[in-house]
Structures are given as C-alpha cells and as structure tokens.
C-alpha cells in the first residue's frame, strides 16, 4: 500500500487480556517507530527499529510492553495483561533512509475495560 | 532533555481570519522542528518541517512557520483559515534523521462561520 497501515483500527480488551497490534510500514522504509497517544495528549515515543534491530525501547512504560520486527518490515506491539491505563491510541510511523519525514498510520485505538 | 510547549490548548477563529499557533521548544542542539495536523480518527499528517537554512518555511495547505532561535519558537501561521482546517495541531522536535520525536500536547483549532 501507499501508506502506513495499522490493524486493528479499534480494539476492546478486558483487563488482564493480552493484545497484539500490527503495523505495516511503507515498503522499503528502514525505520519504524511506535508512539502512544493518551486522550487529549500528544504522542509519546515508545520504541524504534532500524530494520529488524530495536535500537531504542526507552519509552516502553513497563515490561508488559513488547515490540518486534523480525524481518525488518511488519512490526507488532504486544501488551500483556492489559490495564486500564493502557487505553490509548497507538501510532506507528515509518521513515526512509534519509529519515527526514516520518509517515504515520491512522493508529489503533485500544480500550481496556 | 528536549521538550515542546504549546501554550494554547484550544483556539477558535472565524473562517477567513488569520491564524497563529504557538510552539516553544527546549533542545540542546540545533533542532529539527515539525508541525503535524491530526483530524478526528486520523493519523498525523506532516504540514511542514525545518532543518536548516531559511527560517521561514512553507508547508502544505497554505501553512507556514517561522523558526526564531533567539525565542526558541516555531510558530505556525496561515493568512486565511478554511473550515476544513479544524483539527488538532502538534508541534514536534527531534535530533533529526531516524530519531524519535518529542511532541507538544497539541492545540485544538475550531473554526466558526
């Protein structure tokens, strides 16, 4: 596709359930970012991949959050034992080797009930 | 640590009126600065970016922004707003290249007829 694709668009999870959020970056984009956007806030950095290497995971809020990009393209953000405070929009972005512009997907809205 | 301040949470302007959204940043080196727009239920779309050179940058949809190093500001302007400009606007700063961005909390723009 032409843009960054995220699925599902909406996810409702019961507290304690595990969830997996998928990101398909723009083809050929080396860098991939995950951000978390709480209601009424700006996006906050979670983690960053260059190809399959996770170079920065300093923004992951707890060890319940895990991200992978095993083949350097599609990425999955996994949240284990979801809590209410995990409710947010999760945004994925990708950029090419020159890295001057990050293209964002539409996000996955996660609601934990 | 880098940070971005958008002092106006919500701005209302009349259609056809001029617009200025404020952004102040804190960054230890020469920053890469961005303005993104987010419509309801959508991802972030890049309006414009500043890396170096001319401090007045032009973007899409008739927007422009001016980098003022002495004031640590990067304010977004538009001479005449359209109803379709109603959205959330985010200023962001980063070290450039394939690096994470730090976003402000956003300014919600409402357009009245």
Radius of gyration over alpha carbons of chain A, in Å?
A: 13
Number of H helices, E strands in chain A: 0, 11
Per the prediction, chain A carries an average pLDDT of 94
Q: Look at B42 and A106 and tell me if their CB atoms are within 8 Å.
A: yes
Q: Look at B43 and A104 and tell me if their CB atoms are within 8 Å.
A: yes
* Cβ neighbours of A43 in B, within 8 Å: 44, 90, 101, 103
Name the strand (E) or helix (H) holding A3. none
* Cβ neighbours of A48 in B, within 8 Å: 98-100
Residue with the two structure tokens 């230890």: B28
**CB nearest to A42's CB, from B46, B100, B106:** B106
Per residue in A73-111, pLDDT tens? 999 999 999 999 999 999 999 988 765 688 999 999 999
Rounded CA gap, B40 and B36, in Å?
13
Instruction: Give me the residues of A, 10-39, that contact B with CB < 8 A.
Output: 30-31, 33, 35
Per residue in B45-95, pLDDT tens? 999 999 888 899 999 999 999 999 999 999 999 999 999 999 999 999 987
């Amino acid at each position: 596709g032409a843009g960054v694709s995220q699925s599902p668009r909406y996810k409702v999870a019961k507290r304690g359930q595990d969830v997996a959020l998928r990101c398909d970056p723009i083809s050929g984009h080396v860098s991939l970012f995950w951000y978390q956007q709480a209601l009424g806030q700006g996006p906050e950095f979670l983690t960053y991949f260059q190809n399959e290497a996770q170079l920065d995971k300093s923004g992951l809020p707890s060890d319940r959050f895990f991200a992978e990009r095993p083949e350097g393209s599609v990425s999955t953000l996994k949240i284990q034992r979801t809590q209410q405070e995990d409710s947010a929009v999760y945004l994925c972005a990708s950029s090419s080797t020159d890295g001057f512009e990050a293209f964002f997907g539409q996000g996955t809205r996660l609601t934990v009930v | 640590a880098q940070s971005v301040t958008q002092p106006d949470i919500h701005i209302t302007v009349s259609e056809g009126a001029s617009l200025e959204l404020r952004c102040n940043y804190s960054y230890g080196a020469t920053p890469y600065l961005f303005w993104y727009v987010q419509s309801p239920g959508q991802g972030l779309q890049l309006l414009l970016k500043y890396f170096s050179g001319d401090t007045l940058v032009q973007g899409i949809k008739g927007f422009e922004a001016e980098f003022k190093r002495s004031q640590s500001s990067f304010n977004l302007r538009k001479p005449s707003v359209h109803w379709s400009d109603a959205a959330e606007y985010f200023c962001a700063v980063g070290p450039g290249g394939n690096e994470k961005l730090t976003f402000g909390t956003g300014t919600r723009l409402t357009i009245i007829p």
